[in-house]
Amino acid sequence: MNEHAPRPAAATPVTVIGLGSMGQALAAAFVGGGHPTTVWNRTASKADALVSKGAVLAKSPADAVEAGGLVVVCVLDRASAQEILDPVTDQLAGRSLLMLTSLTPTEANETSAWAAEKNIEFLGGAIMATPDLIGNPEEASLLYAGSSSVFESHKAALELLGTSTYLGDVAARASLLETGLLASMYSMFAGFFHGAALVGTEGVTAKEFTALAVPWLKAMTTFLPGQAEFIDKGDYTTDVQSLEFNKGGLDHIIHISTDQGIGTDVMKPVAELIDRQVEAGHGPESLARLIEGIKNPKG
Ligand code: FVH
């Protein structure tokens, strides 16, 4: 061995507080990545499998915090996180705290302000994955916002969990972006369910429908960057597929759905958003103008 070769930096000790299904997956990824890993959970028995893999079970949250260069908290909600952290602020001072408990944007900013007051370096996070996907960068994506120095110093450890994206120093952003992504997902699923119900009226199975829906939806996502351009410019001028054109499309879907005897609960709100913009004189503009109706809901 070349004695002058640079030695690999020792892996940072990591603490994981909260060993529900997600916390266990996070801790297992750190252990697997060679980080000395200390864990704490209210119900200590949930640490058994991790301890057998090399994690150390701390006796108390205070001991757990003192063992970690990076302290990760992944418990039920903000109240339970705060219940654990409030008594250990002295131990947390000067350390890096990564909050992977789901918080609202307001809660994330409040927690960030609380941490700043206590001299704790705070990074908020949002996990776009289920526990079984943690450790798989192709499938698991984690969003971070807050202290850039916590993100940069612990980037290698964070990459063990999944693909990391840093969104800037406003802590609220991670949960805000997470919520935006989830909103997009639910609307897409609801549209797919409507389509499956519609084709099902003539005996087409959901499986047959899916074979067509997947490439169709994939192709449609290629239009999102163009829609984003309209939105960011705030200029919806277009000479293709205006709101008037799309109004015809939505009316058609609602008419056929009713004819086929299925509900229109999913499609009606989209049609109503279009109608409002057309009635306000924006018919020749792009479909992206719907965002204005979402931003300014009717009273
Ligand atoms: N699981 C998932 O797919 C999602 C993915 C997106 C992000 N979420 C968020 O992750 C947080 C933890 O979720 P989880 O799935 O691990 O949740 P559980 O398996 O239910 O475990 C809950 C843990 O919280 C501990 N806990 C609850 N209340 C308290 C309290 N008052 N004091 C101390 N600990 C508390 C609980 O402890 P125990 O019941 O085992 O003693 C678990 O460790 C969550 O914010 C998701 O929204 C996961």
pLDDT digits (tens, 9 = 90+) for 197-211: 999 999 999 999 999
Is 140 buried (19+), middle (13-18) or exposed (0-12) by CB count in 10 A? buried
Residue 24 Cα to ligand 1 middle (Å): 10
Residue 9 confidence (pLDDT): 59
58, pLDDT greater than 80: yes
85, pLDDT greater than 80: yes
Q: In testing the pocket of ligand 1, which one of 39, 40, 42 has its CB within 8 Å of the most ligand atoms?
A: 42
Phi, psi of 162 (to 5 degrees): 165, -175
- CA-nearest residue for atom 6, ligand 1, is 127
What is the CB neighbour count within 10 angstroms for residue 176?
Answer: 19
- CA-nearest residue for atom 3, ligand 1, is 130
Work out the mean pLDDT of the chain and round it to a whole number: 95
Nearest to 73 by CA among 106, 117, 48, 107: 107
- CA-nearest residue for atom 44, ligand 1, is 76
Question: What b/e string do you get for 101-114 counting C-beta neighbours within 10 Å, with b at 16 or more?
Answer: bbbebebbbbbbee
Question: What does pTM read for this prediction?
Answer: 0.91
Residue 182 Cα to ligand 1 middle (Å): 19
Q: Is 15 helix (H, G, I), strand (E, B) or coil?
A: strand
Output the ligand 1 site: residues, CB below 6 A.
Answer: 18-23, 41-43, 46, 74-77, 80, 83-84, 101-102, 127, 130-131
Q: In testing the pocket of ligand 1, which one of 17, 22, 78 has its CB within 8 Å of the most ligand atoms?
A: 22
44, pLDDT greater than 90: yes
Q: Using the atom order of ligand 1, give the atom closest to the CA of residue 42.
A: 41
7, pLDDT greater than 90: no
Q: Using the atom order of ligand 1, give the atom closest to the CA of residue 24.
A: 16
pLDDT above 90 as % of the chain: 94
At position 298, the amino acid (one-letter code) is K
Q: How many residues does the chain have?
A: 299
Nearest to 292 by CA among 239, 226, 243: 243
How far apart are alpha carbons 21 and 132 in whole angstroms? 9
pLDDT above 70 as % of the chain: 97
Three-state SS annotation for 231-296 = HHHCCCCCCCCEHHHHHHHHHHHHHHHHHCCCCCCCCHHHHHHHHHHHHHHHCCCEHHHHHHHHHC
Residue 228 Cα to ligand 1 middle (Å): 35
pLDDT in tens, 93-124: 999 999 999 999 999 999 999 999 999 999 99
pLDDT in tens, 151-178: 999 999 999 999 999 999 999 999 999 9
Residue 288 confidence (pLDDT): 97
How far apart are alpha carbons 90 and 9 in whole angstroms? 28
Three-state SS annotation for 142-187 = EEEEECHHHHHHCHHHHHCCCEEEECCCCCHHHHHHHHHHHHHHHH
Q: Tell me the C-alpha to C-alpha distance, in Å, between residue 157 and each of 23, 111, 115, 178, 269.
A: 15, 23, 22, 21, 44
pLDDT bucket at 2, cuts 50 / 70 / 90 = very low
256, pLDDT greater than 70: yes
4, pLDDT greater than 60: no
Residue 68 confidence (pLDDT): 87
Residue 290 Cα to ligand 1 middle (Å): 37
pLDDT bucket at 1, cuts 50 / 70 / 90 = very low
Residue 171 Cα to ligand 1 middle (Å): 20
Residue 10 confidence (pLDDT): 76
How far apart are alpha carbons 285 and 298 in whole angstroms? 20
Identify the bridge partners of residue 122 per DSSP, sorted by sequence position.
97
